[in-house]
Homo-oligomer: A and B are copies of this chain.
Amino acid sequence: MTETWFPSLKTATPQEGFELATKLARVGVKLTQPSAEVRDKLRTAYEQDVAQLIASSQVIAIHFQTVAAANNYWCD
């Protein structure tokens, strides 16, 4: 991925920060499995798998910690 996909951790609102965290969780998968075709095939399965949905939610939670700290919890 030579394009710029991640210019900043700053977001205007907590909600946009949560969406950025979700994106980062997905990019983490993409960097490990670069084939879109394989990921699409896998997605159908794991979207029905509770353990994987909760695991995905956990990765989002970890990234959201980072995004929230970077934005000083949107308190400024």
A residues neighboring B (CB under 8 Å) = 4-9, 13-15, 18-19, 22, 24-29, 31-33, 38, 42, 45-66, 68-70, 73-75
Q: Are A32 and B53 in contact, CB atoms less than 8 angstroms apart?
A: yes
Given B45, B47, B57, B75, which contacts A70 in the complex, CB threshold below 8 Å? B75
A18-B24 CB under 8 A given contacts A53-B29, A54-B52, A70-B73: yes
Q: Are B70 and A68 in contact, CB atoms less than 8 angstroms apart?
A: yes
Name 18 extra pairs, CB < 8 A, besides A7-B13, A32-B47, A50-B52: A4-B13, A6-B18, A7-B14, A8-B14, A18-B27, A22-B32, A25-B61, A28-B56, A28-B60, A29-B56, A38-B47, A38-B48, A42-B50, A52-B54, A58-B59, A61-B66, A66-B68, A69-B69
